[in-house]
Structure 1
Amino acid sequence: MVTARWNGQVIAQSDATIVVENNHYFPRVAVNEHLLTDSETTSFCPWKGTASYYSLSVDGEENQDAAWYYPDPKEKAASIKDHIAFWRGVEVS
């Protein structure tokens, strides 16, 4: 079971993550979405497409743009559609 934690809270937990470029992408259904807040940040990967971001809000603290996902990934990255990955201090183990 792979778990993502930040600020003492479990953000996501799944035994069905997809690892791409050393990042665990969690199925959206395995993520505590009530801890996510929308962000206007985007980035671009040549082979995955345009990523959108979420910030985390846990116990009154915010971790800006700590989660990302590809709402419409390119064909080569189709397996990570409806999956979310984490960084910026989120512990994934």
Structure 2
Amino acid sequence: MTVAKWNGAILAESDAVKEVEGNLYFPPDSVNREYLRESDTRSTCPWKGLAYYYDIVVGDDVNKDAAWNYPDSKPAAKEITGYVAFWKGVEVTS
């Protein structure tokens, strides 16, 4: 089981994560969205498409743009469409 945690909160856990470019992407239904708040940040990857970022909010603590996904990825990245990845101090363990 792969688990993503920040500030004591379990953000996601799954046995079906996908690794792309060193990042672990969690299936959409394995993510505790109560901790995610969509931000205005976007970035574009030439082969994955437009990434949407999320702030992680646990209590009064906010980790800005610490999660992202590709809700409508390009065909080359269709396997991670809607999957969520984490960074910026989020602990991901298997």
- What TM-score do you get using the length of structure 1 for normalisation? 0.97
Q: Per-residue CA shift, 1:32-62, capped at 9, x if unaligned?
A: 0011001010001111011001100002100
Aligned mates of 1:59, 1:34 — CA distance in 2: 11
Aligned mates of 1:74, 1:38 — CA distance in 2: 21
User: Which blocks of at least 5 consecutive residues in structure 2 are unaligned?
Assistant: none
SS of equivalent to 1:82? coil
- AA matched with 1:84: V
* Identity of matched residues, %: 52
Aligned mates of 2:26, 2:5 — CA distance in 1: 13
SS of equivalent to 1:67? strand
Tell me if 1:52 matches 2:33: no
Aligned mates of 2:31, 2:7 — CA distance in 1: 15
- Structure 1 moving runs of 4+ over 3 Å: none
Aligned mates of 1:90, 1:44 — CA distance in 2: 22
Paired positions, count:
93
SS of equivalent to 2:47? coil
1:1-93 paired onto structure 2 within 5 Å: 1-93=1-93
- What TM-score do you get using the length of structure 2 for normalisation? 0.96
